[in-house]
Structures are given as structure tokens and as C-alpha cells.
Amino acid sequence: MVSGVPVVEVGGSHVTAAMVSADWRVDPVHRMKLDSQTSAGKILAQLAQAADQLPLANGLVVALPGPFDYETGVAWYRGNKKFEALYGHDVGKSLRELLKLDRILFVNDAEAFAVGEWTRGTLQGLERCVGVTIGTGIGTAFLLDGKVVRTGDTVPPGGELYRTTYRDRPVEDWISSRAILEAYFESVGEVDGIGVKEIADMARGGSAEAKRALVDAFAALADALAPWLERFGATRVVLGGSISGAFDVVQEVFDFDVTVTADTEHSALIGAAARFLAEG
């Protein structure tokens, strides 16, 4: 019998497949490039190819960003140039057919990250805590004893901060890779071939414009998140995602307990496996 949980974690430009053991060890890891702007058939074929690297006798759990109906397996991507060909598509049905599987569980990637941090990371043992992933967009998960809270007046709609506004604009207009690049380019003009990582490196090297773009973005995140932390009673926040690597440049803006993950990718894989096991 195959031991462990097969997990596929989907990003905008890559897909990762791995087995997660009962003691939360992640091994092996297969990472593949993913073209999220191609046709629905080709996107699904890429996901199936990644999953086929794993033994699938026990089923499969797939962690991926929203907007996605995780119960039905239907995608609702629109307006961000990634996975738009899947809009309205029953991804669950297609993958079950391609992989000849009965059981596929879909989970939100930000929720998987937060649960993984609660299971084996910086949130262990905390009653009320929050995970935040920052990259092309922002993902959040509010945890009560390791369980995701999506309803009630102590969390944003669906537990998702990106569905709220800050200073009359969507939160992602302030904190996302797009927002940071736009703020930096507004100061120095368009520059080809750089991303948030390069801006963070320039900030460390003394660039005032680079640091200002990052500090302003993370200050907006702190301001937008703080009221929800108070309502929820969260005692710690952990940051993940590609942009969390700039934390050392911006940590001064936070006046609540916040840390950064040691391993975004492994946390999401572990959290997805934990959700799969919890749901039997």
C-alpha cells in the first residue's frame, strides 16, 4: 500500500508535485513549469502530467489559488491573465478522467499554507492565528485551532482579505507584485527585467525609491489587516509567498506579532496533505 498523501500545488508559473508522509516529511518534489495562459486542455494536461509523477492509489489533493469553487471543482478565473481558459470549467471532472481517479480534493493555496504553518511551522500551538501569502495577489486564512474560519463578522468575506478595500481601492491595488512594481516605476520610470526580488535587493543596497515602494505596500497590508486581527483575536501572523522574501526590508511597519515562513512551498504541501487526511 502506498504510504503518504500525493499533493499537487499550483502556482501561476509552476506546478509542484510531492508525497507528504505521515510524519510530514515532503519527498520527493517534482517541480515543473506551467503555462497558465494557454488553452484549457493544455493547462489540464500539464496538471495531469505533474500528478502522474506520484503514486495515486490513495487519491490526490490539489492546492491552487482562487477564484475557484473548491467543493465542486469548477474554476472561475477571470481578469488576471492566468488560467482564464478554465473559466467555468469543471476541473475536478476533467482531472478525474485524465488520471482515472475517484477522489480529488481541492484546497485553497493560502489556506494550505496557513494550515501547514500551524501543523509544522511558526503557528504551531496557537489558538487564533493568520497566514498571509503575497505574490501576484494576496491570500489569507484565519485559523481557529488549526481549522479555517471563513464565515462570521470576525473575518473578511470568505476569510479573504483581497475581497476588501483599503482607502477606497481593492487591497491588491496596494499590496501585490503589480502594485509594488507600479509604485517603483512611478518614482524611477519603467525598467525592463526587474521584479519585486530585484527591488528588495536595491532597497538593501540603499535605494530610497525601492525601499519606499516596499514599505508603502507592506504598510497598507498592515493597516488593512490590523482591524481583522483585532476582531478575530489573532496572536500571530505568518507571511508566505514570493514577496515575503522582502520582509527584512519592511518589518518596521508591523506593530503586531508577524513572522515570515522558512519554507512557503513545503508549508503549502504539508497543509494540503493535512486537509486531505482530516477529511478522510
Grid cell for residue 177: 507584485
Instruction: Kindly state whether residues 67 and 197 are assigned to the same domain.
Output: no
Instruction: Kindly state whether residues 137 and 220 are assigned to the same domain.
Output: yes
Triad 267, 273, 278: Cα angle to 5°: 125
Instruction: Kindly state whether residues 103 and 174 are assigned to the same domain.
Output: no
Instruction: Kindly state whether residues 132 and 154 are assigned to the same domain.
Output: yes
Residues 205, 143: Cα–Cα separation, whole Å? 37
Residue 117 lies in a domain: no
Q: Where are the alpha helices (DSSP H) in 106-195?
A: 109-120, 177-188
pLDDT truncated to tens, each residue of the chain (280 aa)?
357 999 999 987 889 999 999 899 998 889 999 999 999 999 999 999 999 999 998 899 999 998 999 999 999 998 877 899 999 999 999 999 999 999 999 999 999 999 999 999 999 999 999 999 998 889 999 999 999 999 999 999 999 999 999 999 999 999 999 999 999 999 998 888 899 999 999 999 999 999 999 999 999 999 999 999 999 999 999 999 989 999 999 999 999 999 999 987 799 999 999 999 998 7
Instruction: Kindly state whether residues 158 and 183 are assigned to the same domain.
Output: yes
Question: What is the DSSP secondary structure assignment for residue 27, as one 8-state letter?
Answer: E
Instruction: Kindly state whether residues 97 and 140 are assigned to the same domain.
Output: no
Among 259, 230, 222, 271, smallest CA distance to 128 is for 230
Among 62, 50, 59, smallest CA distance to 1 is for 59
CB 52 within 8 A of CB 15: no
Q: What is the CATH number of the domain that holds 253?
A: 3.30.420.40
Instruction: Kindly state whether residues 217 and 234 are assigned to the same domain.
Output: yes
Instruction: Kindly state whether residues 257 and 126 are assigned to the same domain.
Output: yes
Residues 235, 229: Cα–Cα separation, whole Å? 8
Residues forming beta bridges with residue 237, ordered by sequence position? 130, 258
Report the number of distinct structural domains present in the chain: 2
Residue 200 lies in a domain: yes
For 171-207, letters b (16+ CB in 10 Å) and e give bbebbbbebbbebbeeeeeeeeeeebeebbebbeeeb
Q: Which domain holds residue 24?
A: 5-109+268-278
Residue 23 lies in a domain: yes
pTM over 0.85: yes
Q: Where are the beta strands (DSSP E) in the chain?
A: 5-10, 14-20, 26-33, 60-64, 68-69, 74-75, 104-108, 128-134, 138-144, 147-149, 165-166, 169-170, 237-240, 258-260
Instruction: Kindly state whether residues 60 and 170 are assigned to the same domain.
Output: no
Q: State the first-to-last Cα distance of the chain, in angstroms, to the nearest integer.
A: 17
For residue 214, give every residue at least 6 positions away whose Cβ sits within 8 Å of its Cβ, in sequence order, or none.
Answer: 180, 196, 199, 200, 203, 246, 249, 250
Instruction: Kindly state whether residues 143 and 257 are assigned to the same domain.
Output: yes
Among 73, 140, 74, smallest CA distance to 105 is for 73
Instruction: Kindly state whether residues 78 and 182 are assigned to the same domain.
Output: no
Instruction: Kindly state whether residues 215 and 272 are assigned to the same domain.
Output: no
